[in-house]
Amino acid sequence: MSKFLIIGLGNIGLEFENTRHNIGFDVATAFVQKHGGNFIPGRFVNVSEIKWKGKTFIVIKPTTYMNLSGKAFSFWVQKEKIKLENSLTIVDDLALPLSKLRLRASGSDAGHNGLKDIQFFMNTDAYPKLRFGIGNHFPKGRQADFVLSKWLPSELPIIEKKIEASIKVIEDFSTIGISATMNWVNKMEFL
């Protein structure tokens, strides 16, 4: 049975719920709910184990705060003996418009502190990432406020479509592989 680690990045705490920066948590939660699972406390994370189509998904949401995500990632990859190419990190991305998702087999942290910490712990950027575009409509110097802000009501229909598509990305990633999944998701425009 092949095993996958799905890591949704975000921050714990009620004040961070439904914010742009926590979209990784939201996607992980939606995937687990779709497959009838629930999260329980684990080391450095809330964790759920999902079995689907002969595959096991260890789905984690770090409880270490975003900037310290590497410790959780490293611990669970090693504990579950999961190859890096069978991990998928879901993260918000300021550089992508709200209408886009981008799947890559590897790539830089692009200034994202959660990815930076994972890269530091793993000593590589060669692990798959699903980047969830959050847009970048903020005044100069207000980036932190923007990423920690809640979605606008007008954005929610797009966010819901993208969360649904992200669940399909996780499923396709595990069944048809990253290349075939990239072929459809990276071309999509969510309006």
Segment 39-71, tens digit of pLDDT: 999 999 999 999 999 999 999 999 998 999 999
* Token representation of residue 175: 């069944």
The SS3 assignment for 51 reads strand
CA distance 6 to 88: 5
- pTM summary value: 0.97
* Token representation of residue 81: 């003996």
Which whole number is the average pLDDT over 149-175?
A: 97
The SS3 assignment for 40 reads strand
Q: For the beta carbon of residue 172, count every other beta carbon within 10 angstroms.
A: 18
Q: How far is CA 15 from CA 20, 68, 109, 114, 146, in A?
A: 12, 18, 25, 18, 14
Mean pLDDT score of the chain? 96
CA distance 72 to 70: 5
Per-residue model confidence as pLDDT tens digits over 7-17: 999 999 999 99
Which sign does the torsion angle of CA 105, 107, 112, 118 carry? positive
Catalytic residue among 21, 35, 112, 137: 21
For domain 2-185, the question of CATH label 3.30.1130.10 is answered with no
pLDDT at res. 140: 84
Look up 35 and say whether it is catalytic: no
* Token representation of residue 111: 């200034």
Nearest residue to 167 (alpha-carbon basis) of 104, 98, 90, 62: 90
pLDDT at res. 138: 85
pLDDT above 90: percentage of residues in the chain: 94
* Token representation of residue 57: 């998904």
Query: Could you tell me the strand order of the sheet in which 2-8 lies?
Result: 40-42, 45-52, 55-62, 2-8, 87-93, 129-133, 101-104
CA distance 175 to 177: 6
CA distance 50 to 36: 8
pLDDT at res. 129: 98
